[in-house]
Structure 1
Amino acid sequence: MTDKELRRLSRSELLEMLIAQTEENSQLKIRLEQAEAQLRDRRIEIDKAGSLAEAALQRCLSGGGGRGAAVSGKYPADQQPAG
């Protein structure tokens, strides 16, 4: 809407437009808050998953034995690879 068109509107029409914009603004704020909450939840899930993966890797690398030892290149003396 142009400035000229806005100037031709009555006070009641302008007030109705203001109310509609205010309601839309409120709804958008709610949607934004919900989206931010979902993003926080996903970040927490990603952080937890990363922490779990790091803990599992650390366990494997710190002597959890088995495949982790093979991946890290750490073998007990009696299980040195042939070659």
Structure 2
Amino acid sequence: MFKRDQGDLSKLIPVIFPNDLVHADVAKALQESVLKGHSIISAGSISPLNLQAEGRSETLNVESNPIVDSHVIKMNDYGVGYL
């Protein structure tokens, strides 16, 4: 989960990727390009059945925040169904 502060507000941006990729590599690539200025606030894995966040990233040494992460993931618009 990335975070960017915008004045008094913060925007959380979830990034979901397959297990074949490594958290640290994905984070580095994104922070060098499309997510410049965003900080990493949590990392782990999600259950494909209910999108529940869990665990931690060993390569980033960051824990997931199951309640917040799961809520943000489920409420984010991924563009499904749009033409």
* Structure (1/2) with the larger helix percentage: 1
Q: TM-score range by the shorter chain?
A: under 0.3
Which has the larger Rg? 1
Q: Which of 1 and 2 has higher RCO (CA within 8 Å, sep 6+)?
A: 2
With normalisation by structure 2, the TM-score equals 0.18
With normalisation by structure 1, the TM-score equals 0.18
* Structure (1/2) with the larger strand percentage: 2
